[in-house]
Amino acid sequence: YPGAVAKQIQELIPGSAARVVRRISETQGMVFSRTKGLIGLLAALTFIVCSLSVTGILTAAVLERRPEMALLQAIGARRADVLWLFLAEMAILGIAGGVLAAITGPLLGQWLVSIVFGSTAELHLAVLLIAPFLGLALAWAGGLWPVWQAVNQDAALVLHGN
């Protein structure tokens, strides 16, 4: 790529001699690849931390709703039915969170780029499409374990304790 730019400069400015300074272009490439890796690592860590946070919140919510789950099982609902009911609730919450992230994320990103770099950032359609699915995955990853634990406990013992 740098060689193509140098050739274009020579073609546009007659009599000029444009040369690629390999050290600079290699250094820029290394900085760019390290920055890209760092951003990927931060994104993965953010996903993990958010998943742990969602797990904590959903665990508290499921603990409060254990009697409801036990009552559903006591009146004839199968464990799988109760599990799918709560997974559907988590899906709605996850998709809603993903849509909210798809709206606010690019806006905050553009604001940050304008403050730090003094330029504008491109809005990628992929972010708007992927964010709801990531929200869904995050909600299910964080909520599946507590719901599974609550559904697999003895309904009679839960109802007797309340």
Q: Mean pLDDT of residues grouped by 10 in the chain (162 residues)?
A: 79 81 75 88 88 85 88 91 90 93 90 86 86 91 87 86 68
- For the entire predicted model, the pTM comes to 0.69
Question: What integer pLDDT is reported at residue 26 of this predicted model?
Answer: 75
CB-CB neighbours of 99 under 10 Å: 14
Question: What integer pLDDT is reported at residue 100 of this predicted model?
Answer: 94
Question: What integer pLDDT is reported at residue 45 of this predicted model?
Answer: 93
Question: What integer pLDDT is reported at residue 131 of this predicted model?
Answer: 92
Question: What integer pLDDT is reported at residue 1 of this predicted model?
Answer: 66
Question: What integer pLDDT is reported at residue 75 of this predicted model?
Answer: 92
Question: What integer pLDDT is reported at residue 81 of this predicted model?
Answer: 92
